[in-house]
Amino acid sequence: MRIAVDAMGGDFAPQNVVAGAIGALRSNGKITRLFLVGDTARVDAELKKLNYSDPRLQIVHASEVIAMDDPPVQAVRRKKDSSMCRAIELVKRGEADAIVSAGNTGALLTAAHLKLRTLEGVERPGLACLIPAPENVFVLMDVGANLEPSPAILVQYAVMGSLYSQQILGYRTPRVGVFSIGTEEMKGNELTLETYRRLKQTNLNFIGNVDGHDLFSNVAEVIVTDAFVGNAVLKTCESALRVMSRWLKDELRKNPLRMFGALLAKGAFQALRRKADPDEYGGAVLLGINGICIKAHGASSAKAVQSAIRVATEFVESHFNDRIVEEIKRSNAQLPQAQTPAAQPPLPATA
Amino acid sequence: MRIAVDAMGGDFAPQNVVAGAIGALRSNGKITRLFLVGDTARVDAELKKLNYSDPRLQIVHASEVIAMDDPPVQAVRRKKDSSMCRAIELVKRGEADAIVSAGNTGALLTAAHLKLRTLEGVERPGLACLIPAPENVFVLMDVGANLEPSPAILVQYAVMGSLYSQQILGYRTPRVGVFSIGTEEMKGNELTLETYRRLKQTNLNFIGNVDGHDLFSNVAEVIVTDAFVGNAVLKTCESALRVMSRWLKDELRKNPLRMFGALLAKGAFQALRRKADPDEYGGAVLLGINGICIKAHGASSAKAVQSAIRVATEFVESHFNDRIVEEIKRSNAQLPQAQTPAAQPPLPATA
């Protein structure tokens, strides 16, 4: 399979992206071609630094870069020769099966939506990410594409999120929940209450509301919400974990006895770090567009880029989008509601 | 000062509530009267068990209890003789200065709003809680009262939250932020964008948007948001911390070396637990109503109830509500907008 990588996207591009691409080529025999899209001279310099050459590797030149803080819609419109836009176009023209970028999230969502369009029957794409918990891994969706989705859109997110959990993570009948402010059916706002009502009518394994207290309690493998709340929950998880580690580290350094104890227990801290390591999870996936699009986080390490490329190959391999089209068709037929796809992709929630 | 305590509210009432009340009386000389409102026989039995008597203590009988899962509005309407309603009425009649309850949150917000009404100039009350971070403690507001506040209401929350930070926590010029999905001014939804615009015009120490990544990075002492997002962020913090501790504990138990190391470093874990202990923070405060109302969390320990009572005395002592009225008046005069107080208190967000 053929993967297009936005070599210039991310805080540490092109170094980490090129290194991650090499890691992917080394470990993943399924990749038949990997396009590194970006400034030829800079990408080439990175390859030379790492002394790597591979016949599957092809540099595609792009003269512009969409910066992490560029306003998404304008950036996509104006920077036609950006590495991100060029990489997406490879997918559009059928030359690549998937695009991977660690660049500006909003720009990626906008460009992917504009250029690749949504899959048949899908109202709006949504950004899905994986969150590890002690007893399961769950899909949180949407974390960045749609700030004010309708209940119908959240139902489609539930369908696509369930497929993600089944096809990629291997959960047979993933449990689906709506994120809300309490677990009882009556708790929530207009959006969650109506989404709850609709999800009950689907043949998804719907378990009701999930609130913040139950996120990690092994109650659901798919949790749907709007992009504002999803983004808030995702980032809050990340910073709560970070602050805990930092606090603990400070406390452990306070005297020699603690430091010695921490040294003996080092394996435990390392194991925990590995479990909660976002780099293992390969970034977020934009579901519902006509192409596979993986968003690695902005500060991606080489390992994170490599994971994102691995995830891209898993999606391609499972013919994921064909399954989405089937399941969305079935779901749309089940729920009596007008499906009016948006003519214009909206401004994405995050950049 | 005189505190009314809902003796029957909470998962462990009346035991923990009575024990917490006794702790408060023992440690806090400012309390001149403490009403334990609830079933006389049961409250009395708890007092006897703990072998405590105090002339400042007075049992006020109430024959009913609002359960933790009662629908809030109906419960408040129907259970006129509930411990919660009776305790609030003591404040309404001027016999107590503050009410403390660990009971049904939604019912408490509804009853307090209905019976005590809002302070002059305040559009809607909001529930404020404290979150400890490594370098500061911040007020997050609203965490449960108002699911769909207007920008004007969020500005009032910012005014009241700043006063909380100043008067009770001692921050001179607390920094105020709007919770959003990115730190840049253009990031957010309609509510946050307009709130941002208005907060810039106030004389609060407004620093802009705060997103989930920056929650614990010492960027603001007051963060305003709607009750849905506030509830999501608060609960997500709590469960992320819980899951981290549990994960770490599991890892530390995996072999004798780690266990020994953990034993040596025990002090660090204890220090961390103390820092992040919600029981220390005395629960959430309903700001903007004509009376002091403290909500201890449902699973409150005796210590948590005692902390909540301490917080109540601090609010009474600082004449907090007089300051709110002044500051809200000044703020309302500054911002040219219609202040139309709601005739009917709305259904609260959480129960």
Give tens-digit pLDDT for B86-112. Answer: 999 999 999 999 999 999 999 999 999
Interchain proximity A181–B231, CB inside 8 Å: yes
Token pair for residue A282? 């390969």
| Total residue count of chain A as it appears in this document | 351
Residue B337 clears pLDDT 60, i.e. is over it: no
Residue A343 clears pLDDT 50, i.e. is over it: no
Q: What band does B38 get if pLDDT is binned at 50, 70 and 90? A: very high
pLDDT higher for B246 or B313? B313
CATH topology (fold) of B2-122+288-318: Isopropylmalate Dehydrogenase (3.40.718)
Question: What sign does the dihedral B170-B100-B110-B85 (CA atoms) show?
Answer: negative
Interchain proximity B236–A240, CB inside 8 Å: yes
Q: Is residue B24 within 8 Å of residue B52, measured between CB atoms?
A: no
Find the CB nearest B265 among A231, A242, A265.
A265
For residues A109 and A128, give the distance between their C-alpha atoms in angstroms, rounded to a whole number.
12
**CB burial of residue A334 (10 Å; 0-12, 13-18, 19+):** middle
Token pair for residue A132? 């590890």
For residues A87 and B179, give the distance between their C-alpha atoms in angstroms, rounded to a whole number.
34
**Counting one residue from A and one from B, how many pairs have CB atoms under 8 Å apart?**
205
Interchain proximity A272–B231, CB inside 8 Å: no
pLDDT higher for A324 or B347? A324
Helix-strand-coil percent breakdown of chain A, rounded to 5?
45, 15, 35
Find the CB nearest B265 among A236, A239, A262.
A262
Say which residues have a Cβ less than 8 Å from residue B267's Cβ, sequence separation at least 6: A251, A254, A255, A257, A258
- How does the average pLDDT of chain A come out, rounded? 91
Interchain proximity A244–B272, CB inside 8 Å: yes
Interchain proximity A258–B244, CB inside 8 Å: no
Residue A338 clears pLDDT 50, i.e. is over it: no
Give tens-digit pLDDT for A24-59. Answer: 999 999 999 999 999 999 999 999 999 998 999 999
How much is the average pLDDT of A195-220? 95
| Total residue count of chain B as it appears in this document | 351
Q: What is the pLDDT of residue B263?
A: 82
Question: What sign does the dihedral A146-A150-A156-A157 (CA atoms) show?
Answer: positive
Minimal Cα–Cα distance from A65 to chain B, Å?
A: 20
In chain B, residues with a C-beta closer than 8 Å to the C-beta of A267 are: 251, 254-255, 257-258
**CB burial of residue B67 (10 Å; 0-12, 13-18, 19+):** middle
Token pair for residue A160? 């696509």
CATH topology (fold) of A2-120+288-313: Isopropylmalate Dehydrogenase (3.40.718)
Question: What sign does the dihedral A65-A70-A75-A76 (CA atoms) show?
Answer: positive
In chain B, residues with a C-beta closer than 8 Å to the C-beta of A67 are: none
Phi-psi region of A291 (alpha: psi -120 to 50; beta: other; left: phi over 0): left
Give tens-digit pLDDT for A59-115. Answer: 999 999 999 989 999 999 999 999 999 999 999 999 999 999 999 999 999 999 999
Q: What band does B283 get if pLDDT is binned at 50, 70 and 90? A: confident
Minimal Cα–Cα distance from B237 to chain A, Å?
A: 6
CB atoms within 10 A of CB B93: 8
How much is the average pLDDT of A233-261? 86
Rounded to 5 degrees, φ, ψ at A7 are -70, -20
Minimal Cα–Cα distance from B56 to chain A, Å?
A: 38
Find the CB nearest B267 among A186, A212, A258.
A258
For residues A268 and B258, give the distance between their C-alpha atoms in angstroms, rounded to a whole number.
7
Q: At which residue do the structure tokens 């932020």 appear? A: B177
**Domain B126-278 annotated CATH 3.40.718.10:** yes
Find the CB nearest B212 among A217, A239, A255.
A239
For residues A4 and A10, give the distance between their C-alpha atoms in angstroms, rounded to a whole number.
15
In chain B, the percentage of residues whose pLDDT exceeds 90 is: 76
Q: What band does B156 get if pLDDT is binned at 50, 70 and 90? A: very high
Q: Do domains B2-122+288-318 and B126-278 have the same CATH topology?
A: yes
In chain A, the percentage of residues whose pLDDT exceeds 90 is: 76
Q: What band does B342 get if pLDDT is binned at 50, 70 and 90? A: very low
In chain A, residues with a C-beta closer than 8 Å to the C-beta of B349 are: 181
Q: What Cα–Cα distance (Å) separates residue B299 from each residue in B11, B15, B292, B296?
A: 5, 12, 21, 8
Decide: helix, strand or coil at residue A76: helix
Minimal Cα–Cα distance from A105 to chain B, Å?
A: 12
The arrangement of strands across the sheet holding A137-141 comes to A57-61, A33-38, A2-6, A98-101, A292-295, A284-287, A126-132, A137-141, A222-224, A175-179, A205-210
How much is the average pLDDT of B247-252? 84
Q: What is the pLDDT of residue A339?
A: 47
For residues B121 and B341, give the distance between their C-alpha atoms in angstroms, rounded to a whole number.
8
Question: What sign does the dihedral A321-A322-A323-A327 (CA atoms) show?
Answer: positive
pLDDT higher for A150 or A283? A150
Nearest residue on chain A to B234, alpha-carbon basis = A212
CB atoms within 10 A of CB B196: 21
Interchain proximity B251–A272, CB inside 8 Å: yes
Decide: helix, strand or coil at residue B108: helix
Token pair for residue A261? 């104890």
Residue of B147, B186, B235, B249 to mutate, interface with A, max A Cβ within 10 Å: B235
Helix-strand-coil percent breakdown of chain B, rounded to 5?
45, 15, 35
For residues A101 and A3, give the distance between their C-alpha atoms in angstroms, rounded to a whole number.
11
Listed by start position, the domains of chain B span 2-122+288-318, 126-278
Q: At which residue do the structure tokens 């001014």 appear? A: B185
Q: Picking from A339-348, B72-81, B98-107, which range would have the lowest pLDDT averaged per residue?
A: A339-348
Q: What is the pLDDT of residue A274?
A: 77
CB atoms within 10 A of CB A122: 25
Residue A292 clears pLDDT 50, i.e. is over it: yes
Interchain proximity A241–B239, CB inside 8 Å: no
How much is the average pLDDT of B208-229? 96
Q: What band does A347 get if pLDDT is binned at 50, 70 and 90? A: low
Q: Is residue B326 within 8 Å of residue B203, measured between CB atoms?
A: no
Find the CB nearest B232 among A184, A216, A232.
A232
Token pair for residue A203? 């043949």
How much is the average pLDDT of A157-167? 97
How much is the average pLDDT of B327-350? 64
For residues A199 and A208, give the distance between their C-alpha atoms in angstroms, rounded to a whole number.
8
In chain A, residues with a C-beta closer than 8 Å to the C-beta of B238 are: 212-213
What residues does A177 pair with on adjacent strands?
A208, A223
Distance of CA A33 to the CA centre of its chain: 22
Find the CB nearest B182 among A179, A233, A350.
A350
3-state helix/strand/coil string of B112-161: HHHHHCECCCCCCCEEEEEEECCCCEEEEECCCCCCCCCHHHHHHHHHHH
Interchain proximity A212–B229, CB inside 8 Å: no
Interchain proximity A267–B251, CB inside 8 Å: yes
Minimal Cα–Cα distance from B216 to chain A, Å?
A: 7
How much is the average pLDDT of B305-327? 96
Q: What band does A330 get if pLDDT is binned at 50, 70 and 90? A: very high
Q: What is the pLDDT of residue B251?
A: 84
